[in-house]
Amino acid sequence: MELAHSLLLNEEALAQITEAKRPVFIFEWLRFLDKVLVAANKTDVKEKQKKLVEQLTGLISSSPGPPTRKLLAKNLAALYSIGDTFTVFQTLDKCNDIIKNKDDTAAYLPTKLAAVACVGAFYEKMGRMLGSAFPDTVNNLLKSLKSAESQGRSEILMSLQKVLNGLGGAAASSHRDIYKNARSLLTDRSMAVRCAVAKNEAVFMWTAELENIATLCFKALENSNYGVRVAVSKLLGTVMATALMPKQATVMRQNVKRATFDEVLELMATGFLRGGSGFLKSGGEMLKVGGSVNREVRVGVTQAYVVFVTTLGGQWLERSFATFLSHVLDLVSHPRATQTHVEAVYSRRCVSFILRATVGSLLGEKAQIAAAKEICQAIGKQMKAVEAVVNDTSGENKSGAADIAASQHVMVCALQELGSLVQSLNATASPLIQEASIGLLETVSSVLLHPSMAARLAAAWCLRCVAVALPFQLTPFLDRCAERLNNLKTSPEAVSGYSFAMAALLGGVHQCPLGIPHAKGKMVVSIAEDLLRTAAQNSRLSLQRTQAGWLLLGALMTLGPSVVRYHLPKMLLLWRNVFPRSLKELEAEKARGDSFTWQVTLEGRAGALCAMRSFVAHCPELLTEDVIRKLMTPIECAMTMMSHIPSVIKAHGAHLKASAAMVRLRLYDILALLPPKTYEGSFNALLRELVAEFTLTDNSANTTTSLLRSLCHYDDSVLLGSWLQETDHKSIEDQLQPNSASGSGALEHDPSSIYLRIPAGEAVPGPLPLGVSVIDASVALFGVVFPHVSYKHRLQMLDHFAECVKQAKGVRQQAVQLNIFTAVLSALKGLAENKSTLGPEEVRKSALTLVMGALDNPNPILRCAAGEALGRMAQVVGEATFIARMAQYSFDKLKSARDVVSRTGHSLALGCLHRYVGGIGSGQHLKTSVSILLALAQDGTSSEVQTWSLHSLALIVDSSGPMYRGYVEPTLSLVLTLLLTVPPSHTEVHQCLGRCLGAIITTVGPELQGNGATISTIRSSCLVGCAITQDHSDSLVQAAAISCLQQLHMFAPRHVNLSSLVPSLCVHLCSSHLLLRRAAVACLRQLAQREAAEVCEYAMSLAKNAGDKEIGGAYVNPFAPGVSSRSDIHCRHQGVNITETGLEGLLFGMLDRETDRKLCSDIHDTLGHMLSSLAVEKLSHWLMLCKDVLAASSDMSTATLLSSGKDEESEKKDEMDDDTMFTTLGEEDKSKPFVAPRWATRVFAADCLCRIINLCENADQAHFDLAIARSAKLRNPRNDLLVLHLSDLIRMAFMAATDHSNQLRMAGLQALEDIIKKFASVPEPEFPGHVILEQYQANVGAALRPAFSQDTPSDIIAKACQVCSTWIGSGVVSDLNDLRRVHNLLVSSLDKVQAGKGSSSQLYRESATTMEKLAVLKAWAEVTMAYCF
């Protein structure tokens, strides 16, 4: 490879190496040239230019692969822009001639594509200099566009984009021609071509009517994939936003009229609500026509709304929020958006996504409070309209029912966004509650009486969010709901709505550290008992009271064993009484009762089982053998009852099916949590039910489970497409997955989820529809029970599965098969966890037949599941002969099969076998497996076969470890060859190549540091592979490249070039793809552990380079692509995302925008590593950074908080200086377009402050000696010591301690305590006998005072008392008069303790009050000790 590092191509060396290695040699030379041309001496370049041009143009005709042609074009353009430009037109003509060539063979294609790439690069680099040849070039490209195949079309479109970017306004004459040719390609059958057209935004900006562009985009979204949706939505959103920008609109062609806001919104709405392809000219007519809404179009337009708002910016959203909100909420009330229940849920999720991605990201905290007010008003307005319909007894309002049905969806979206807003604002949201004019609580509570259950649940959820954000409201809320439930117990809506609210609030208690008073448990039990007891008294209320009673008891269980223990005997009695005691009672029950009483009975039993499940899940400590025995009595009755339900449904009507399904769901859920031994006597009956459930025996719908993807291995996401779960668009992309009702989770499907803990990563609980949930629960329980079942029964079930698959046909067969495979995987997983075996030969044989049959299934998800099942079977059987037999079967199949389906299925089977058996267990098959997969990976006719075989190869490399060492060279050689030849549009192949590369790097491991010839070759091959994948256009491929470089850095840090890696990672931090941002931060985290200083330095170089480039005066296209995701908004304000605050500042900024937990945790770690390494050396920089972040606190009007302390009048006067001291901070920041740092980021900054103080203490005591610090500063002004920044430290602690946010107040008080402890004894050199902290006593007093106000939570009072005692005991102030203000604060806390319980109604649990009392007494004890001894 070293021979390739010369200015001219070393033709002798090239001739001596083998044919196969030449492309790599050439690529390596081009890479070297790319770096060297920029830095080389101009005269050297000019001397060799002629030869260089010859060599480079010669390469055009040598059929270069995609990465090579990209670099080749870049180098040729760079060469001309650095050297002489005499022959540029000659070279351009040569390229044009190649493009004109009529040769359409596959062999000539790479040459043509290289010529096209060169033309694009020339114009991009030299722009107007080539203007004279521009019309011919464009005509030539457009002519060849008509006859080109998909690769050619993509390449030509990318070149045209570069031509337009290079020429800017000078290219205006060709826009119409390019637009005419490009628009039809927006609906091209190749997804890569659609993306290429959509990225060429400039063309669409200058052209025809908005309506035509919108229509085109909607068509492009039909049958699109994720990449196309992102690209087209970016185009649509940007074009629509541009039409509203006055600056942009005037630059556009004169014939394009500037659109109004309403016109733009109407056009977008048409896409959101439109049907299939028949697109009518006028939006209004279009919407009257029937037909189902195309989901892909809706999801794409949803993303476009976000791009649209993001492009216009946060300030625009702030100004136009009312209009935008009412428009977005209207979308979900439109009959076309809610044709079926599932469609309505999908539309709601889309609208919620739009609101969350805009309001949640683009607005600062003040603007978010204003938005919350606006949403409140919208809810109030809707509720008034609903009440008018409900109270309209005259029947004049004919469309009333439809209005109510539409209003529920508006309510759900508005309430969910309001809840999310308040929760993200946390304690900062308190003005919303305190201002009576907003009436947030009244408005939300009024929805608890809405006729629709979905709206009532959404209101309950919103109240839970408010209570979690503002815990002091939790107990009053509970009391108010209990009181209203009591007063309105004759209204079915009130019983249902207020019980939902109470259940939701109880479910939120675990998120509030101070809890609720113990007595509230008793109150809930008595209300629930009362509801259950009176349920039978009034048939109009029976159902609601029964459901409400059990819901409250289920919610009570979430308070944990300490509360539940007292009520357990009562609960066990209630559970026992709900079910019939014996078969005789059950038969008697069937004989009497009508359809309604059965519905109430079934709902009651489902509720009881649900409360039991909640008890088992939340109070495991109370599950003694005796309690389990008592629980089993009702559970066994429920199992017996199951077999009788079909006859009840037959007798009383099919409307009981849903209630019966709910009983089954609850039963499966609780059984899955109990030890299987406790119910093994009922296995036979239970398994019959479970198998009937997921094989759809009594179910005419083809419902499929949602668990298959989660039971397959995480690494198979490239085959399953489940990486979509890890994009910013997850919540809407879910709707497009193939399994039943995918992504249609909603609270109304299962009200009990209102009190359960939310799954990680979800904003609102979203249980799937009942039909899917029951099948999911049956599959999960099957996996729990299967390991405990006899072999005979296992065989019967497996044979039955095969029979079920055989019996079903078409779509139903696919559904049954998917469910069966999920159940089998669940069972195999259960066996592995229990360390059990599958069973004797006949059981294995039956299982194997079932699995092998699916390896040839046309459905890729089933093939994937079959491969996974095969691997798991090998794992639980664990016999070499069995594994050999399975491997041999796949070998034989792969040698003879020619069809894509068999080749993909069986290649995955090999990978899964190795994955689950490991290198040792499958060592003897390694050679055959590798040789077959390497051969399959070269099958250029099918990218699918290449993807599956390379994925399997990566699994084998991963699992074989050191045993794979002998195959590294041939594998690496193949990976490089494919990287250089496979078209970039086959992104899955490139993703798998990236995985293989990463696995190879891990296999070679620390050896990579060596200097031997072989290792050097392997290492340089890995680096070349990383370079190619890094430069790919797909985000997932780039993410794979980053993780490869991360591995390389771990094993051979000297060989990874940080000067190029770090800037590229910084650019990726602004990517619109979550996985790429995650990969970049994870890599920075690793780099910062070892080389924090270098990382920061290289990141800063990016800012410097960007500044130079802008000064260079290159033409900047005003229509360059905007931003495609919410995280890009901050990157738009500067040409580059790194400013003078460096990488640290960028990471702090990301903390405000990112919601992904893993990503935020990695950002915290990265900043932590940087802080530990650099904070002491660059003290001013880091303190400034923390100060800038914390200064946002003062924006939220500290003054109002401070003056709320009720002190004596005399103190008011001399403390005015405290109050006004820091309130002016942050004013000058108002002009910045940034969103001020949010409270969570400010808390992190306050923690960083404490860490900086500790780091300085460990580094050098001079940091805490003013005299030494001053003399050091005089000797060298660059000396930076902490004591010189004391006023800043105090100011930051003050800002944090007086904030609205309780977490920030805690962090601020902690910082204040640290400062007092560390600086208490530091003398003031100018005033002997005094210490430097004396001058800050007013500030300390002012920072502490708000913590002693009446409504401060116990934990903050406890912390403040600790700081008071530290301050008084530190001896900083010896004059008692000066100590008076802090002393008075402690006295006030003592008064509060002495007043005891009677003083104020209790808000938190008793232990919180005790903590507060102990803290006050401890503080007084410390003060007394300090002054007495």
Q: Which residue's entry shows tokens 């702030």?
A: 318
For 58-93, letters b (16+ CB in 10 Å) and e give ebbeebbbbbbbbbbbbbbbbbbebbeeebbeebbe
Which CA distances in Å does 1040 have to 448, 661, 835, 1076? 49, 44, 34, 9
For the chain, what percent of residues have pLDDT higher than 90?
Answer: 57
CA torsion angle 676 677 680 686 (round to 10): -10
Asked whether residue 973 carries a pLDDT value surpassing 50, the answer given is: yes
* Mean pLDDT lowest among 295-304, 371-380, 577-586, 951-960: 577-586
Question: Residue 85: which pLDDT band, with cuts at 50, 70 and 90?
Answer: confident
DSSP 125-163: HHGGGGGGGHHHHHHHHHHHHHH--HHHHHHHHHHHHHH
Q: For residue range 1048-1090, what is the model confidence (pLDDT) as tens digits? A: 999 999 999 999 999 999 999 988 899 999 999 999 999 999 9
Q: What is the pLDDT of residue 1115?
A: 29
Name which of 1376, 1362, 1272, 1374 is nearest 1333 in CA terms: 1374
Question: Residue 305: which pLDDT band, with cuts at 50, 70 and 90?
Answer: very high
Q: Which amino acid is at 1370?
A: S
3-class state of residue 1331 by DSSP: strand
Q: Which residue's entry shows tokens 């408010």?
A: 466
pTM: 0.91
Please state the φ and ψ torsions of residue 1331, each to the nearest 5 degrees.
-110, 160
Asked whether residue 531 carries a pLDDT value surpassing 90, the answer given is: yes
Between CA 715 and CA 712 the distance in angstroms is 9
The chain-wide mean pLDDT, for the chain, equals 86
Count of other CB atoms within 10 angstroms of residue 934: 18
| Helix 519-534 with 492-508: angle, nearest 10 deg | 150
Question: Residue 207: which pLDDT band, with cuts at 50, 70 and 90?
Answer: low
Q: What is the pLDDT of residue 293?
A: 77
Phi-psi region of 241 (alpha: psi -120 to 50; beta: other; left: phi over 0): alpha
Looking at per-residue pLDDT, the higher value among 1385 and 249 belongs to: 1385
Q: What is the pLDDT of residue 830?
A: 94
Between CA 1264 and CA 1244 the distance in angstroms is 24
Q: What is the pLDDT of residue 1202?
A: 31
Question: Residue 395: which pLDDT band, with cuts at 50, 70 and 90?
Answer: low
Q: What is the pLDDT of residue 355?
A: 96
Q: For residue range 402-411, what is the model confidence (pLDDT) as tens digits? A: 778 889 999 9
Mean pLDDT of 222-236: 92
Asked whether residue 570 carries a pLDDT value surpassing 50, the answer given is: yes
Q: For residue range 976-1003, what is the model confidence (pLDDT) as tens digits? A: 999 999 999 999 999 999 999 999 999 9
Question: Residue 644: which pLDDT band, with cuts at 50, 70 and 90?
Answer: confident
Asked whether residue 666 carries a pLDDT value surpassing 60, the answer given is: yes
Asked whether residue 1218 carries a pLDDT value surpassing 90, the answer given is: no
Q: What is the pLDDT of residue 1343?
A: 92
Q: What is the pLDDT of residue 234?
A: 93
Q: For residue range 307-361, what is the model confidence (pLDDT) as tens digits? A: 999 999 999 999 999 999 999 999 999 988 888 999 999 999 999 999 999 999 8
Please state the φ and ψ torsions of residue 15, each to the nearest 5 degrees.
-70, -25
Q: Looking at residue 1237, what DSSP letter applies? A: P
DSSP 1335-1348: GGHHHHHHHHGGGG
* Mean pLDDT lowest among 480-489, 734-743, 1219-1228: 1219-1228
Asked whether 199 and 231 are in contact (CB, 8 A), the reply is yes
Question: Residue 106: which pLDDT band, with cuts at 50, 70 and 90?
Answer: confident
Top-ranked range on mean pLDDT: pick from 434-443, 822-831, 1205-1214:
822-831
Mean pLDDT of 711-737: 85
3-class state of residue 1171 by DSSP: helix
Q: What is the pLDDT of residue 247?
A: 58
Q: What is the pLDDT of residue 1350?
A: 81
Looking at per-residue pLDDT, the higher value among 1134 and 944 belongs to: 944
Q: What is the pLDDT of residue 38?
A: 84
Asked whether 455 and 1329 are in contact (CB, 8 A), the reply is no
Asked whether residue 282 carries a pLDDT value surpassing 80, the answer given is: no
**Residue 990: which residues within 8 A CB-CB, separation 6 or more?**
979, 982, 984, 1029, 1032, 1034, 1037, 1040
Between CA 1354 and CA 1237 the distance in angstroms is 27
Between CA 465 and CA 424 the distance in angstroms is 9
Question: Residue 253: which pLDDT band, with cuts at 50, 70 and 90?
Answer: very low
Tokens of 727: 């994009």
